[in-house]
A and B are shown apart, each in its own frame.
Chain A
Amino acid sequence: MRRSRALWTAAILGYVFLYLPLVVVVIYSFNNSVMNAQWVGFTLDWYRKLFANEEMLTAAGNSLLIGLLASFFSTVLGTMAGFAMYRYRLRVLPLLVVAPIAIPEILMGVSLLIFFVTINLTLGLISIVLAHIAFCIGFVALVVNARLAGMDESLVEAARDLGASPLQAFRLVTLPLIMPGVIAGALMAFTLSIDDFVITFFTAGTDTMTLPIKIYTMVKVTVTPEVNAVSTLLMLLTLVLIVIASKLSPGVLRGEAGGG
């Protein structure tokens, strides 16, 4: 593989840029101060406090669960939408898919709350997941659509010629080819979901606390390093989960045929 020195340096610098704040976040989770302002001293107290903080842990768990559910369903629906946009050139679908990305979150949050109250849906986990799916679909759809652009149709035609139904052709030929796009979309959807505050704030009921809600409302006072601790752990946990999942179904991430 060709790899020029300049390209490599630029990419490494990119990673440095991405990780600089993260390094600060992790380091400050050991900071012996109630605020995220300057370094005072080393302590494990915040991690200790975190493990005793049932509310924070439940919130983190909820966020993870919602993230997994929302990203799963929005990836499925978004892949379908991306494929449909590419293949069938429907007029209304691109609009419906891009508009949720453009609409200000606060408007979407308020409108969904009004909608859920009107149809008498109890606010809770389900309402949050439904809301998250709505704004994540667009991200997946656009990435899948971009991946499909310029795809070699002859492969699909060959499969059809060999007797595959449209569904089989999709599952066995198209899907593996677009898998990196699908995975990219899923990752984006998950990221959007676990960090969403505005829409979640409006569509959450009394019984479901998510991590962003807990943290953003802390902002009014101080954001203690306990938040750094829970963020660090959540990141690590998610990474571990994904590594485990990829070991259990090897190759699915690479889009090898037969995955899924």
Chain B
Amino acid sequence: MLRKLLGVLLLVSLPALAKEDVLHLYNWNQYIAPETVERFEKACGCKVKQSYYGDNEELLAKLSAGAKGYDVMVPTSNYVLGMAKAGWLQPLDKSKLPNLKNIMPAYMNTEFDPGNKYSVPYAYTITMIGYNEQKMKELGITVDSWAVIFDPKILEKIKGKVTVLDSPTELMAAALKYLGYSVNDRDPKHWEEAKKVILKAKPYWAAFKATGYIEALAAGNIWVAHGYSNDIFQANLGAQQAKQPFHIKHAMPKEGAVLALDAMVVHKNAPRPDLAFQFINFMLEGQNSADLTNMIGSGNPNSAAMAYIKPEIKAMSAIFPDEATAKKLEMLKDMNAQQRRLLNKIWTEIKAK
């Protein structure tokens, strides 16, 4: 019995013994097209080993506890500042990234990473509102503002058919925008106001859903969802596939919204920084960058990719906002420990009442 076990263990560890060129990519699940990975493996003659996390916080928790072995990671850019300060990232060797010029200037040089020392833009999403077009037409509701999820007068008509994101930062940001403040407003008095707005609307909401609202929208169980632009895109695909009589549309609230720009970074102790830079440069090519957008409808900060993106996606202003709308988008700044605690307290109160 023991011999059998040892044999099995040896067999399982055999791949590790074989000296192979392997790039360890730590990414969100389904956040890179399989074709892209295959193309890279052919181009570099190496293997790509993917690991997944479901949220930035999970990545941060793992890194905080000391996990290592990853080459490239894809956090949302507002966390890059903190990650760099914590000493988890290595500066990018720009000489190995000639394709960096493909990124649109608007997405470069953010306050989280001045000069793009550590990170390179990958894709972006905008947090907005997804809705069931048919139902909203029936009820005569125009969906163009955060009022759809916060105003009790509108909510009355759609009671129990609305979900909001189960994220303190996102929901707070939406409420702050609704009140006319910036998403990065840290004034406790403004947070109290936002909390009141949320509590007033809460009785009309079905649930706080970070996930699963895609299915609910597509099935017609939910008519309005506070969600991410690429998720709403998926919901519509699902609805069409199910031959539903309705479409799921995006709505960019006129007060503004949160832009989340995901970026590629290299771990300080990456086993293969050479492969990491090769990969990043590869992903900066137009075709490779476009693959993701075509797959999930994510926003694309790469100008060279525009030629490869499907026209119907390029036309969606919710995914590729025009200049006027782009001005109203803000990126969430990371908070310090005190602010995080206060937000969590408010959040727990909101959830518990």
Which residues of A line the B interface, CB within 8 A? 32-38, 40, 55, 65, 69, 110, 113-114, 117-118, 123-125, 201-202, 204-207, 209, 213-214, 216-222
Between A and B, 11 residue pairs with Cβ closer than 8 Å are: A36-B215, A40-B242, A114-B66, A125-B9, A202-B61, A206-B70, A207-B16, A219-B54, A219-B211, A220-B211, A221-B29
Q: 1/0 contact trace for B42-70 toward A, CB 8 Å?
A: 00000001111111001001100111111
Closest to B26 in A: A206
- A-B residue pairs, 5 tightest by C-beta: A117-B66, A217-B52, A217-B29, A37-B215, A113-B65
What is the predominant secondary structure among interface residues of chain A facing chain B?
loop
Contact of B66 among A55, A113, A216 (CB under 8 A): A113
B285 on the A face (CB < 8 A) = no
Instruction: Say whether A206 contacts B241, CB under 8 Å.
Output: no
* Chain A residue nearest in CB terms to B231: A221
Are B54 and A222 within 8 A (Cβ)? no
Expressed in whole angstroms, the Cα–Cα distance for A65 and B58 within the complex equals 25
* Interchain CB contact under 8 A, B242 and A221: no
Q: Contact at B67–A123, with CB atoms within 8 Å?
A: yes
Whether A37 contacts B238 by the Cβ 8 Å rule is yes
Sample of 16 further A-B pairs with CB below 8 A, known A69-B5, A220-B54: A34-B238, A35-B214, A35-B234, A37-B215, A37-B216, A37-B238, A38-B219, A40-B243, A55-B50, A125-B12, A206-B49, A207-B16, A207-B49, A220-B28, A220-B30, A221-B296
A220 to B296, CA, bound (A): 12
A33 touches B65 (CB 8 A): no
| Complex Cα spacing A33 to B243, Å | 10
Binding site for A on B (CB under 8 A): 5, 8-9, 12-13, 15-16, 24, 26, 28-31, 49-55, 58, 61-62, 65-70, 210-212, 214-216, 218-219, 231, 234, 237-238, 241-243, 296
> Do B65 and A221 have beta carbons less than 8 Å apart?
no
Question: How distant is the Cα of A206 from the Cα of B234 in the complex, in angstroms?
Answer: 29
List A contacts of B238 (CB < 8 A).
33-35, 37, 222
Q: Return B301 CB to nearest CB of chain A, in Å.
A: 20
Q: How far is the CB of A50 from chain B (nearest CB, A)?
A: 14
Residues of A within 8 A of B66 (CB): 113-114, 117-118
* Inter-chain contacts of A38 with B (CB < 8 A): 218-219, 242
Contact B29 A214 (CB under 8 A): yes
- Which residues in B have their C-beta under 8 angstroms from that of A216? 54
**A33 CB, nearest partner CB in chain B, Å:** 5
Chain A residues in 8 Å Cβ range of B58: 201
| CB-nearest residue of chain A to B31 | A221
List, in ascending order, chain A residues with CB within 8 A of B12's CB. 65, 125
Taking a contact as CB atoms under 8 Å apart, the answer to whether A206 and B65 are in contact is no
Shortest Cβ distance from A110 into chain B, in angstroms?
5
Q: Is the CB of B54 within 8 A of A217?
A: yes
Which A residue sits closest to B210, measured CB to CB? Answer: A220
Out of A125, A213, A222, name the residue touching B215 (CB < 8 Å). Answer: A222
Q: In the complex the two chains form, is B243's CB within 8 Å of A214's CB?
A: no
- Shortest Cβ distance from residue A89 to the other chain B in the assembled complex, whole angstroms: 32
Which one, A35, A118, A221, contacts B30 given CB within 8 A?
A221
A221 to B231, CA, bound (A): 7
